[in-house]
Amino acid sequence: MSIPLRVKICGVTQPDDVRLCAETGADAVGVNFHPDSPRYVDPRQAMPLLKAIPPLMAGVGVFVAQPMRQVCALAYQLGLRGVQWHGENPETADPFPFALIAAFRIKDQAGLTRITNFLAACAANGHQPAAILVDAFVEGQMGGTGHKAPWDLLADFRPSVPLILAGGLTPENVGEAIRLVRPAAVDVASGVESSPGRKDPDKVRRFIANAREAAASL
């Protein structure tokens, strides 16, 4: 039995945008705790945003290069379901009870080898991340750039855990990306915004509808 495609809307900064994502059928929202991001949310001011997440939607915290122990401590304080970790040297420690999404920026085959080696190291430690997220490689930036990941390179890549496709997705191209890469989930931030951190209702609705339609056609 195939598993339905999941949709994550990342970089929410307003409770109304969380409610919009829930009403339009998103499975998860991402809250960015990286201070250098234009979508940064101060953890001390995050509670109204997180309280808007309905019980059957996942709230995922986005972190960059923070030690996993600190990440899990904040996730516990905020009541997050999952943590998405970006950085050059991802830890292979098990962050249970939090679902770990390990993010990788990809530009060539070496990037895919890095993912495979990471998953093997996790397996050697007796666990696997919940998923890996593949984004475009842009020098000096960890995500949310609007640049596309290398879809052709990913078309035949089948890691041992679910693959989440990010990077440059929009309502107009998400269908093509899904048909080519066949990911378990898609993740979008800038592609559904009117400005950084503010979601455009029409773009969110069209993105989710087009993603669902493409997945159903496979």
Query: Residues with catalytic annotation?
Result: 10, 135
What does residue 116 show for φ and ψ, rounded to 5 degrees?
A: -60, -40
| CA trace torsion 119, 120, 123, 125 (10° rounding) | -100
Is the torsion defined by CA of 171, 59, 101, 212 positive or negative?
Answer: negative
Nearest to 13 by CA among 173, 183, 144: 144
Nearest to 11 by CA among 154, 126, 135: 135
* Antiparallel, parallel or unpaired: β 131-136 and 198-199: unpaired
Q: Which two tokens stand for residue 70?
A: 């600190």
Residue 85 to residue 93: CA distance in whole angstroms: 12
